Structure 1
Amino acid sequence: MYFEKPDRLFSIFLSLAFLFLLVLFSSEVSAREITLTWEPNSEPDLSHYIVYWGVGPGAYTSNSGNIGLKTEYKINIPDGDETYFFAVTAVDTSGLESDFSNEVNTSSVVFSLKSGWNLISIPDISANISIQEAFGPIMSSIINISAYENGAWRVYPYNPQYGTLSIIKPWQGLWLNMRNSETISFIPKTYNSVYLVKGWNLVRFTLPLSQDIRNATSSIYRNIISIWTYQEGKWMVYDPLNPYLSDLQTLEPGPGYWINVKKACLWTH
């Protein structure tokens, strides 16, 4: 049985920031604990929320029932490769239920963008796409976007001092200057190889799951001078000459990375 779309639309938005935790129930059975959070509905006659989930997009086979006015819900789902999809509705005091919120799922990479500069990448593309395709829902919050390729900057919107950035390539890292804080979600895709020029390269990590840096960069490790990223308002660095003193130890889909290499090389996985 699937739950059909409710009848009435409220202004409810499910936050795309949720956590994934592995919880072992026994040696035989395990589960993931999912924590969903969302922005509160502003309707004055709001009664409660309902959380829906299932194993297909929009195909919700289970729900929480009435969870009151709290804007967080935890659920255990079976551990494994199966992707679960979630949405939330709001119900008013007369029993009318909102449309489903935006959908999130357990394969998503969630990125909280802060007002100001963010170093990110788009991990769900395997071919060139337009900026509007990549950032459509949050375009109004973007001041500008900068990419660095072959020693030159490209900028959106147009800036006469730099090249024009109109498309985003699957391997690129991006500086994103935000007017407002936003949250975006991606389902990572693999992109097999990235060509790195001698010197600095602004790129993304092209596998869908996080890896420690030594394994993630095994094909180029001897060429690496350093790897940098900028997260939560601070720089993090990996120095192969001082790996245990480096605060950057893992590459993951979502951030952007500055990689400095001794010579041109092909980063493969």
Structure 2
Amino acid sequence: ISLDTIEPGKGYYISMKEAANLTTIGSAITSKTISLTKGWNLVGFNSIEAKPMANALDSIAGRYLAVFAYVNGKWMIHDPNNLATSDLSTMTPGYGYWIYAVTDTNWSLQ
């Protein structure tokens, strides 16, 4: 199976039978806006550096309920309304994130 096209802003999970390297080639991402629809959205983080959750999600503050990511074999959560139970503190390029949007919105990356 091959993956010919990766769309900027989309998130992808790839299930592998064993460890391997994934090499990608293409152009730098120029779009800094990702459209989110009400409900769950699987997105990629279009940044060249990791950012704290609050900074990364500032443009959609109040318009999302939670963010989930699968990191090092476990699910992690960022809940902006309950930071005490949140264990996901940073958004990192190369990871996919599930964002629950409470309304259709645009996520502008800084």
Question: TM-score over 0.5 for the alignment?
Answer: yes
Alignment of 1:85-104 (within 5 A): none
Larger strand fraction of residues: 1
Question: Which one scores higher on RCO, CA 8 angstroms, separation ≥ 6?
Answer: 2
After TM superposition, give the deviation of residue 177 of structure 1 in Å: 1.1
Match of 2:59 in 1: 219
What do residues 24-81 of structure 1 show as CA deviations (whole Å, max 9, x unaligned)?
Answer: xxxxxxxxxxxxxxxxxxxxxxxxxxxxxxxxxxxxxxxxxxxxxxxxxxxxxxxxxx
CA–CA distance in 1 between the matches of 2:106 and 2:63?
10
CA–CA distance in 2 between the matches of 1:190 and 1:210?
17
CA contact (8 A) 2:8 2:29 kept: no
- Structure 2 segments unaligned to the other structure (5+ residues): none
CA contact (8 A) 1:190 1:207 kept: no
Find the residue that maps to 1:183 and give its secondary structure. coil
After TM superposition, give the deviation of residue 168 of structure 1 in Å: 2.4
CA contact (8 A) 2:47 2:93 kept: yes
What do residues 101-137 of structure 1 show as CA deviations (whole Å, max 9, x unaligned)?
Answer: xxxxxxxxxxxxxxxxxxxxxxxxxxxxx823xxxxx
CA contact (8 A) 1:191 1:207 kept: no
Determine whether 1:250 maps to 2:70: no
Determine whether 1:131 maps to 2:3: yes
For normalisation by structure 2, the TM-score amounts to 0.86
Question: RMSD across aligned C-alpha pairs, in angstroms?
Answer: 2.0
Match of 1:196 in 2: 36
Larger Rg: 1
After TM superposition, give the deviation of residue 244 of structure 1 in Å: 3.3
How many residue pairs get aligned? The number is 106
CA–CA distance in 2 between the matches of 1:255 and 1:191?
17
Cα gap change, 1:190 to 1:242, in 2 (>3 Å)? farther
Residue of 6, 14, 36 corresponding to 1:176: 14
- Structure 1 segments unaligned to the other structure (5+ residues): 1-129, 133-166
CA–CA distance in 2 between the matches of 1:186 and 1:249?
27
After TM superposition, give the deviation of residue 186 of structure 1 in Å: 6.3
What do residues 223-255 of structure 1 show as CA deviations (whole Å, max 9, x unaligned)?
Answer: 110000001110000001112331000001011
For normalisation by structure 1, the TM-score amounts to 0.37
Determine what percentage of the aligned residue pairs are the same residue: 36
CA–CA distance in 2 between the matches of 1:206 and 1:227?
16
